[in-house]
Amino acid sequence: MVENIKIRKLIHKQIIIDTSVLIKLIFEEEDSDLVRKIMLLNERMELSLLATPLIFFEFLNALSKTLKNQKLVEEGLKKFFNFKIGVIDAKYGYLQQAIATTCNNEKVSYYDASYHALAKDIKGIFLTADKKYYEIMKSEGNILLLSRLAQ
């Protein structure tokens, strides 16, 4: 049973995650325990963890730059496939929405905007550990900062 009441609010929702959340399953960081609880809910099918196809490339880039070891990165890739994260195909609607966001805000990357746009498109929640992006875009809705779940 999940103790945290804020986590329970995610149950039966579609949650879009980015690499800033996923990487906490590989490296022990602040909120790693929280991400493990969220993954357990995903395994139990009490929520759906989803991402754009970008997640593969961002995740592997983060591992490659941090670990600098091909074998360890390949092990991380194997773990990734065990996480059971649904990857939503690229669709014009959310890709176009991300273009609008990045063209209108020079501090926002297209990568982050695409996850957020997908969350808006499917009426889900974009869960990120990226405080900078969250602060810039929180007024847009459909976004939750991982560390706020821990409070």
Q: Provide the residue type at 24 as one letter.
A: K
> How far lies 141's CA from each of 10, 121, 125, in Å?
15, 12, 8
Q: What is the pLDDT along the chain (151 residues), one digit of tens a residue?
A: 445 556 666 766 899 999 999 999 999 999 999 999 999 999 998 899 999 999 999 999 999 999 999 999 999 999 999 999 999 999 999 999 999 999 999 999 999 999 999 999 999 999 999 999 999 999 999 999 999 987 6
Alpha-carbon distance of 129 to 131, in angstroms, equals 6
The ranges assigned to domains in the chain are 12-150
* pTM of the complete model: 0.90
The token pair at 100 is: 């609008």
Helix, strand, coil share of the chain (percent; to 5): 60, 10, 30
- CATH class for the region spanning 12-150: alpha beta
Alpha-carbon distance of 28 to 99, in angstroms, equals 33
